[in-house]
Structure 1
Amino acid sequence: MTDGDRERTVVFDSAAARRGALLRAGALAVGVLLAAAAAVHAVVPVADPAWVRTRVAALGRLAPLAFVALQAAQVILAPVPGQLLGGVGGYLFGTARGTVYSMTGVLLGSAAVFVAARSYGRPYVERVVDADALDRWDDLVGRTGVAGLFVLFLFPTFPDDLLCFVAGLTDIRLRTFLAVVLVGRTPSFLAVAYAGGELSSGQLLPAGAALALLGVATAAVYALRDRLGLADSG
């Protein structure tokens, strides 16, 4: 990719990319609702809050630690979307504790990826991250700085791990980066934790409303992409 190509490459540089962003946001909400429906209708013990909490209680003090470690691992290894685990956290621990545990894991995982990128440099990042994706995000963060990074973290379906790698290659300080992650990621994790908590009580309507609100907020940020510096550069 030439320097000129990098200058023109931004997050929403094509209709396909724009459709993809909306589809990912919609898929997250649909995935949570389908998983909940499957649990309610097909996996009865897992859908029983008393059964789940009994199993979690059996881990004692290790239950929150295990969940935090799992949430940190999803940032580092990205096997599953973090917000899906966030919904599980709300289901198991309630809205407040689920959000706190999720964000603790997200912050730990984000710090680990950031420090790895900062310590080992671009050659290391290029070995573990797709080159085209790295160019795209690298260009955006370089052009918009901390403000652009914050807006990206507001989108619940954007790749945490990749953004952390990119941030580690900039001159952003670790504490600034973690503050951006905390403020940018908390709203979506709060929403899915609330949805998970409501599902644990069998309240499907409030859970669906929370996910719908998250989708609307994501669409609003997307609609403001011109003002936020995320649209075509022309």
Structure 2
Amino acid sequence: MSDKGSREKRLRRALTILKLAMLVAIVVALPIYIIICQKDVISGFRSYSDAIHYLRGFGIRSVMIYLAAEILQIVVSVLPGEIFQFAAGSVFGFFPGLILTLAGCAAGETVAYYLARFLGEDGLELILGKERMEKYVSRFNSEKAYILTFLVYLIPGIPKDLVCYAAGISHMKFRAFLLLSLVGRIPALCGCLLFGDMMMKGNYRGMIVIGAVCGVILLLCFIFRKRVNLFIDQIYEKIS
């Protein structure tokens, strides 16, 4: 029994050290490496034109570079997501760009969600801070968790970078979180990609129309938010 207890203690200690090493790598080492050693990556996404030039510079490998950038943006949050989504619409076109972006988002959210599960509350507390972590987790454990998740990803301007981590240590199932977050992302992604596609084609009238339609949709969602919330509740109760 003593040998077994000692072995379990060593395993727990090794796991704790591994978690700490991963936490340091994610929070400190990887962002510093990208900012200092991969300056061309950061500079490549400072503007719309820079992002297009950067992606096209990789030729057929630009697909993998874009997917990696999407994943990295979600897991580490060191890259500006909207800029290279605009660029993706110009480089890949609307439909291929949408598929690639959703695939990258799904992969990034999967990594962040299960990474949070592995690190646990203690690790996430170091990333988010105790107060913010408790606030996020309590909301994800509430009865309105599905609505909250959908709206966070649907409404532009709401910070989304750390939501995956908070969801990972909550009671929300992964399938429900992934589905809600991806569906919520689609309208904004479509807007970014269409803008990029139309900008490349010089279709400025189409850009104005899309902007107006997006504005009207957001306004209607706000006005009828109670009905929208009820509808979402009824649908997504089935996937819990």
Gaps of 5+ in 1: 1-34, 40-45, 230-234
User: Quick check: 2:56–2:91 contact (8 Å CA) kept in 1?
Assistant: no
Q: Is the 8 A contact 1:87 1:192 kept in 2?
A: yes
Report if aligned partners of 1:154, 1:218 keep a CA contact under 8 Å in 2. no
Deviation at 1:81, TM superposition (A): 4.3
Distance of 1:191 and 1:90 partners within structure 2: 10
Residues of 1 paired with 2:193 and 2:127: CA distance?
30
Identity, % of aligned positions: 22
Q: Deviations over 1:165-222 (max 9, x none)?
A: 1211122222222212221112211121011100111222322332343344334434
**Kindly tell me: are residues 205 and 221 of structure 1, through their superposed partners in 2, closer, same or farther at Cα, counting changes over 3 Å?**
same
User: Matches of 1:121 and 1:225 in 2, distance apart?
Assistant: 34
Map 1:131-150 onto structure 2 (within 5 A). Answer: 131-143=130-142, 144-150=144-150
> 1:153 — aligned with what?
153
Contact 1:195–1:208 under 8 Å retained in 2: no
CA separation in 2, counterparts of 1:225 and 1:135? 26
The Cα of 1:85 is off from its aligned counterpart by 2.4
Distance in 1 (alpha carbons) for counterparts of 2:189 and 2:89: 9
Do 1:110 and 1:178's aligned partners in 2 also have CA atoms closer than 8 Å? yes
Distance 1:131 1:221 in 2: 33
Q: C-alpha separation between the residues in 1 aligned to 2:76 and 2:213?
A: 28
* 1:182 aligned residue: 182
CA contact (8 A) 1:196 1:207 kept: no
Q: Determine the structure 2 residue equivalent to 1:30.
A: none
Name 1:62's counterpart in structure 2. 61
Moved more, 211-220 or 201-210: 211-220
Partner of 2:122: 123
Give the Cα–Cα distance (whole angstroms) in 2 for the partners of residues 197 and 68 of structure 1: 18
Equivalent residues of 1:110, 1:161 under 8 A apart:
no
Q: 1:145 is matched by which residue type in structure 2?
A: A
SS at match of 1:161: coil
What's the TM-score once normalised by structure 2's chain length? 0.66
Deviation at 1:223, TM superposition (A): 3.8
Structure 1 equivalent of residue 11 of structure 2: none
Secondary structure of the 2:147 match is: helix
Partner in structure 2 of residue 78 of structure 1: 77
> What is the TM-score with the length of structure 1 in the denominator?
0.67
**1:62 Cα deviation from its structure 2 partner:** 1.1
Separation of aligned partners in 2, 1:151 and 1:218: 11
Structure 2 residue runs of 5 or longer lacking an equivalent are 1-46, 231-240
> Given residue 105 of structure 2, which amino acid in structure 1 is its aligned partner?
V
**Stretches of 4+ moved more than 4 A in 1?**
55-58, 224-227
Q: What secondary structure sits across from 2:161 in the alignment?
A: helix
Cα RMSD, aligned residues only: 2.6
Q: Which residue of the partner structure matches residue 209 of structure 2?
A: 209
Which of 1 and 2 has higher RCO (CA within 8 Å, sep 6+)? Answer: 1
Residue 127 of structure 1 deviates from its aligned partner by 0.7
How far residue 58 of structure 1 moved from its aligned partner, in angstroms, is: 5.0
Amino acid at match of 2:165: F
Aligned partner of 1:93 in structure 2 is 92
- CA gap of 1:136–1:205, structure 2 versus 1, over 3 A, is farther
SS at match of 1:172: coil
- Contact in 1 for aligned 2:141/2:171 (Cα 8 Å): no
